[in-house]
Structure 1
Amino acid sequence: MRVDIEGLSVEIAGARLVDDIALRAGSGQLVGLVGPNGSGKSTLLRCVYRALRPAAGTVRLDGADLHAMSAREGARRLAALPQEAASEFGFTVAEVVAMGRLPHQRAAGRVTGADREACAAALARVGADHLADRGFPSLSGGEKQRVLIARALAQEPRVLVLDEPTNHLDIAQQLEVLALVRESRLTVLTALHDLNLAAVHCDLLYVIARGRIVASGAPYDVLTPELLAEVFGVRAHRVPHPETGAVQLLFDLLPAPPARPASPALPALRKDGPCA
C-alpha cells in the first residue's frame, strides 16, 4: 500500500511545528525520517497514525484520505508503534497481542478462531510465542518491542508507522527489531535517531529540520558531509559497510570557527588644534 503525504502542516498553540510536508512511501518500502531532536519527526508521524489532525494537508493510503476514514477502517489499514507505546500494561503478552484484533471484531472482546490464529502467527513471526503467558511488565525492553510489533502484525495492516522503535534497546536488539520490520514486507514509515541504522535498513530517507523536509532520496545520496554539517552540526566521514557496501558514518565535532581579531582602537581626536 502506497502512502502519500501532501502539503501537511501542524500548528499547536499558534506555533507551526510542521510546515508543508510532502512525502511518499511506495508499497513495501521502508522509509526513514531523520533529523535533530525537535525537528518535527514525531509530530508528523502522529498525524499519520491520527493522534493529531493536521492544520492543512492530507495523508492518503493508495489514494484514499486516511482522515476521512472511520477509526475502524483506518486501523485495518494502518498500525502504529508510538514512542510511548511500551508502557506497563497490566496484561499478559497474549492479551497485549490480542488488542491488535479489535479493529476486526464486530463486538469488543468477542474472540474468534481467526483472531487466535492471527495472534499466534504474529507471536511466532517475531519469535516471541514462548512469552505468551508472561506478564508484559516482566519483559526486557527488546522483548517488549517484539511483543508490540506482534500486536501490530496481528492487526493485519498494510502500513506500519514506528516512532523510534529502537529507542532504549541495546545494539543486538536494535538490529533484531529492524530485521523484523524489514521482514514484515509492509509499507513502513519510521523515525530513527541512529543515522547508521537508517542508512543500512531504509530504502529512502527524508531529512527534517525545523519542521520542513530539507533533503530526500537514497541514503547514500542524502547522508552527505555537507548536509550533516548543516542539519546536525557535526563533521561526518563516510565509509562503506564491509559486507553490504551501505554508507556508514563516523562523526566528530565541527572545528570551532576562528576567533575574529579585535578591531584596532581608533586614535583619540585632538580638540586643541586647528582643523586641517
Structure 2
Amino acid sequence: MRLEITGVSVEVAGRRLVHDVTLTAGSGRLIGLVGPNGSGKSTLLRCVYRALRPAAGAVRLDGTDLHALTAREAARRLAALPQEGGTDFDFTAAEVVAMGRLPHQRGSGAPSAADREICARALERVGADHLAHRGFLGLSGGEKQRVLIARALAQEPRVLVLDEPTNHLDIAQQLEVLALVRDSRLTVLAALHDLNLAAVHCDELYVLAGGRIAASGPPHDVLTPKLLAEVFGVRAHRVPHPETGAVQLLFDRLTENARTSV
C-alpha cells in the first residue's frame, strides 16, 4: 500500500509546527524520518496516524484520504506505535497484543481462536512469547516496546507508522526489531534518532528541520557532512559498513573553524 503525504502543514495551539511537507512511501518500502529534536517528526507522524488533523494538505493510502475513513477502516489499513504508546492498566502482555485485533472484531469483541493465534504469532515474531502472561506495567522498557510492536503486527495493517521504535532497546534488540520491520513487507514510515541505524535499514530518508523537508533520498546521498553540519550541528565522518557498504557515520563537535569549512 502506497502512503502519500502531500503539502501537509500542522498547527498546534495556533502555532504551525509542520510546513508544506510532501513525502511518499512506496508499497513495501521502509522510509526513515530523521531530524533533530523539535524538528516536527512526531507532529507529522501524529497527523499520519490521525491523532492530529492537517491544517492543509492530505494523507492518502493508495489514493484514499486517510482522514475521510472511519476509525475502524483506517485501523485496518494503518497501525501506529507512538512514543507515548502503552496502557496505564496492568493488562497482561497477551491482552495488550489482543487490542490490535479490535478493528477486525464485531459484536461483543470477544477474540476468536483465529485472533488468539494471530496474537500468539505476533508475540513470537518479536521474541516476546515468554512474556504473554506477565503484567505489562511490570515489564522493562525494552520488553514493553516488543509487546507494543507485537500489538501493531497483530492489527495486520498494510502500513506501519513508528515513532522511535528502538527506544529502550539494547543494540541487539534494535537490530532485531528493525530487521523484523524490514522483513514484514509492510509500508513503513519510521522516525529514528540513530542515523547509523537509519542508514543501514531505510530505503529512503527524509530529513526534517524546522518543520520542513531539508533533504530526501537514499541514505548515502542524504547523509552528507554538509547537511549534517547544517541540520544537526555536528561534524560527520563517513565510512562504509565493512559488510554491507552502507554509509556509517562518526561524529565530532562542530567547532567554529569546522563550521566555515563544511
TM-score over 0.5 for the alignment? yes
TM-score bracket, normalised by the shorter chain, equals: over 0.9
The match for 2:195 is 195
The match for 1:217 is 217
Cα offsets for 1:103-123 (capped at 9, x unmatched): 011125322122112112211
- Give me the TM-score of the superposition, normalised by structure 2: 0.95
CA distance in 1, matches of 2:168, 2:139: 14
Q: Secondary structure at the match of 1:165?
A: coil
User: How far 1:257 moved relative to its partner?
Assistant: 4.7
Q: Secondary structure at the match of 1:85?
A: coil
Structure 1: where are the runs of 5+ without partners? 259-276
The match for 2:38 is 38
Q: Secondary structure at the match of 2:256?
A: coil
User: How far 1:168 moved relative to its partner?
Assistant: 2.6
Q: Which amino acid is the alignment partner of residue 103 of structure 2?
A: P
Q: Which amino acid is the alignment partner of residue 216 of structure 1?
A: S
Does the C-alpha gap of structure 1 residues 87 and 111 become closer, same or farther in structure 2, counting only changes over 3 Å?
Answer: closer
Kindly indicate whether the alpha-carbon contact (under 8 Å) linking 1:102 and 1:108 is maintained by their aligned counterparts in 2. no
Task: Give runs of aligned pairs for residues 114-153 of structure 1, distance below 5 A.
Answer: 114-153=114-153
Cα offsets for 1:177-232 (capped at 9, x unmatched): 21221121111000001100100110000000000001000000000001001111
Task: Give runs of aligned pairs for residues 63-142 of structure 1, distance below 5 A.
Answer: 63-142=63-142
User: How far 1:89 moved relative to its partner?
Assistant: 3.9
What is the aligned length?
258
Q: Which amino acid is the alignment partner of residue 84 of structure 2?
A: E
User: How far 1:72 moved relative to its partner?
Assistant: 0.1
CA distance in 2, matches of 1:87, 1:132: 15
The match for 1:172 is 172
CA distance in 2, matches of 1:101, 1:108: 13
CA distance in 2, matches of 1:55, 1:13: 12
Kindly indicate whether the alpha-carbon contact (under 8 Å) linking 2:142 and 2:167 is maintained by their aligned counterparts in 1. no
CA distance in 1, matches of 2:62, 2:207: 23
The match for 2:245 is 245
More deviation, 134-143/56-65: 134-143
Kindly indicate whether the alpha-carbon contact (under 8 Å) linking 2:145 and 2:168 is maintained by their aligned counterparts in 1. no
Q: Secondary structure at the match of 2:36?
A: coil
User: How far 1:88 moved relative to its partner?
Assistant: 4.5
The match for 1:157 is 157
CA distance in 2, matches of 1:127, 1:145: 11
CA distance in 1, matches of 2:115, 2:87: 24
User: How far 1:87 moved relative to its partner?
Assistant: 4.7
More deviation, 130-139/231-240: 130-139
Q: Work out the percentage of aligned pairs sharing the same amino acid.
A: 81
Q: Secondary structure at the match of 1:251?
A: strand
CA distance in 1, matches of 2:127, 2:15: 43
The match for 2:226 is 226
Q: Which amino acid is the alignment partner of residue 252 of structure 2?
A: D
Q: Which amino acid is the alignment partner of residue 95 of structure 2?
A: E
- Give me the TM-score of the superposition, normalised by structure 1: 0.90
Aligned Cα RMSD in Å? 1.3
Q: Which amino acid is the alignment partner of residue 123 of structure 1?
A: L
Q: Which amino acid is the alignment partner of residue 165 of structure 1?
A: P
User: How far 1:124 moved relative to its partner?
Assistant: 1.8
The match for 1:261 is none
Structure 2: where are the runs of 5+ without partners? none
CA distance in 2, matches of 1:170, 1:124: 19
CA distance in 1, matches of 2:191, 2:44: 10
CA distance in 2, matches of 1:182, 1:138: 29
